[in-house]
Amino acid sequence: MASVRFSIQNEINRIVNKLKNEQSPDGSWRYPFETGISTDAYMIILLRTLEINDEDLIKALVERIESKQQSNGAWKLFYDEGEGNLTATVEAYYALLYSGYRKKSDKNMQVAKRKILEMGGIERVHMFAKFMLSLTGQYPWPKFFPIPVEIILLPLSFPINFWDFSVYGRANLTPILILADNKYRTKTRRSPDLSDLFVSRCKDDDYWRWLQTDRPFFSYIKQGLKSFIGLSQYIHSAAIHHAKQYMLNRIEPDGTLYSYFSSTFLMIFALLSLGYPKNHPIIIKAVDGLKSFACRINGYPHMQYTTATVWNTSLVSYALQETGVPSTDPVIEKANRFLLLRQHDRYGDWAVRNPYSLPGGWGFSNMNTINPDVDDTTASLRAIHKFAIKEPLFRQAWDRGLNWLLSMQNDDGGYAAFEKNVNKRILRHIPIQGAEFILTDPSAADLTGRTLEFFGKFTNLSKHHPTIQRGVKWLVNHQEKNGSWYGRWGICYIYGTWAAVTGMISVGVTPKHPAIQKAVKWLLKIQNNDGGWGESCKSDIEKTYVPLGVSTLIHTSWALDALIAIFDEPIPEIQAGIQFILRSAERKDWTTSYPTGQGMAGGFYIHYHSYQYVFPLLTLSHYQKKFENFYV
């Protein structure tokens, strides 16, 4: 065991030194938030539409997009995605043509076109890609859209209203409501012709398969509008005005809407549809804000969907402190003072459902002032907890953050990401593709588990505190039959199980509890022969655990951390997992860039570049602390 201890300490030291060396001058860590090529494609399309000829950026994005093309012509969202992803392939093909630097006659473009037609044609792309294609003149708008813009005027008392949508849903749907209302479309002299990507020749509405409905939701909203406010051109104009103001009032200091690429992209087009010129200062600042999302990966620029600066910084600061780096170390000092500056002091949409709490949470991205979330708040509080003991300024921040966090528990006992009690089941039946992920913000095992873990390890809350008891009850009631938990924001069942188990153990749930024992059996059952664990992104599509077939460093770290929390001695399966981490520490292959974060099943996956350091570091540190007496 002495050699194991030596190897573990060496690996901890290696990661610690790497993280220290990669800290930014302002104290943050700016590891990429990588989401495939869609944002790169959309940036080209946006710049060409606005006739902003940033040729250096466009050329570089073209090269990055092409570098990701598969030999069969398609683009993928993740390694084991079969033949490829139709939506990503259409987006890439469109952007390459619109750039002007690639032609339909190019060999790789011909192969891509054949693959698009083989996979069903442009009419089978994801709904949100169809919106982009429609507003840039490549796809017909549907004659009917299931959500009228007037929904923004309905009061909170109405059974279904604008504030029932998640904040992410509102951010993206608000500009779409404006665009769909007037069926806005714009083309330029550079616009390519994508008509040869259609397989069928049917009526316009038939292209929008996800909008085929008997319109009960639409009729319900219309009836509500008639009952509450009547229907007139004045009401319609008022709804458009309110939708515009919703966007403008939530623009962050960098010019983006809520720090999201998609909502900012859509906002720009919505403003164009309302008569704003292409060179309007709001539009130019929004474009500059999106450009600021650029990072470099393997020599190419990548347009991040958002930045993960606060998330990365809080995770890294906490992980370093867990290894024994003192809070007085300049690296920790700089990191935590950066986090202090990023705590929110403004009310956001969260206050609509939680009106009695003062602001105090943290957001995810670097420039995020009104959209805090539970995960970043617990992560930031973990990072500053030692500072809160000794410095009044940090103690004030701690108290504000903790009070906000306590106020955000849902009525069902769980925790969601951004808001409180925003989970009406009827919204999942709206004919919007991905409505479950886009329009709702339900309690989730990963968020609930990590919040409990924070309460148990970093606060003085009793395990009998109602908040903790209700959280534990929610987790027990939402365990899968096989013993796992579904993790909403990661891949996927390993992620949720790790968070649920470590959370429950931290607040005093005994390892002998039936739910914990079921989780142990499941984790040990799915361990690979090499000692590691690995889960496919297909899990969140099929809503059941799908093994990846190989082990990844991050999945292994999550599974091991859960087992370490449960067992009082290092069982052989834990030892095998530790050996896998040590063998794979500097591994470089497709598994090291495999997405372990998710935004929307089948459409949006995230490779967090910080995770390959943070989670192995935490797991090795927890192993070392708990099992030090077993070393010879």
DSSP notation for 363-403: -SSSS-SS--BHHHHHHHHHHHHHHHHH-HHHHHHHHHHHH
Number of H helices, E strands in the chain: 25, 7
Within 286-404, strands assigned E span: 294-297, 300-303
CB atoms within 10 A of CB 517: 14
Nearest one of 384, 172, 148, 354 to 260, comparing CA atoms: 172
Does the annotation mark 375 as catalytic? yes
Tokens of 366: 């670097």
**Residues 505, 472: contact at Cβ < 8 Å?**
no
Q: State how beta strands 300-303 and 597-600 pair.
A: unpaired
In order of 258, 375, 470, the CA distances from 340 in angstroms are 20, 16, 30
Q: Which of 164, 349, 373, 375 is catalytic?
A: 375
Q: CA 547 to CA 122: how far, in whole Å?
A: 31
Q: CA 531 to CA 537: how far, in whole Å?
A: 20
Nearest one of 347, 385, 337, 338 to 366, comparing CA atoms: 338
**Residues 516, 504: contact at Cβ < 8 Å?**
yes
Q: CA 594 to CA 79: how far, in whole Å?
A: 7
**Residues 221, 154: contact at Cβ < 8 Å?**
yes
Q: Which long-range contacts (CB under 8 A, 24 or more apart) does 324-333 make?
A: 324/621, 325/16, 327/386, 327/387, 331/20, 331/23, 333/27
Distance of CA 573 to the CA centre of its chain: 31
Q: CA 263 to CA 270: how far, in whole Å?
A: 10
Q: CA 424 to CA 459: how far, in whole Å?
A: 32
| Residues that are catalytic | 375
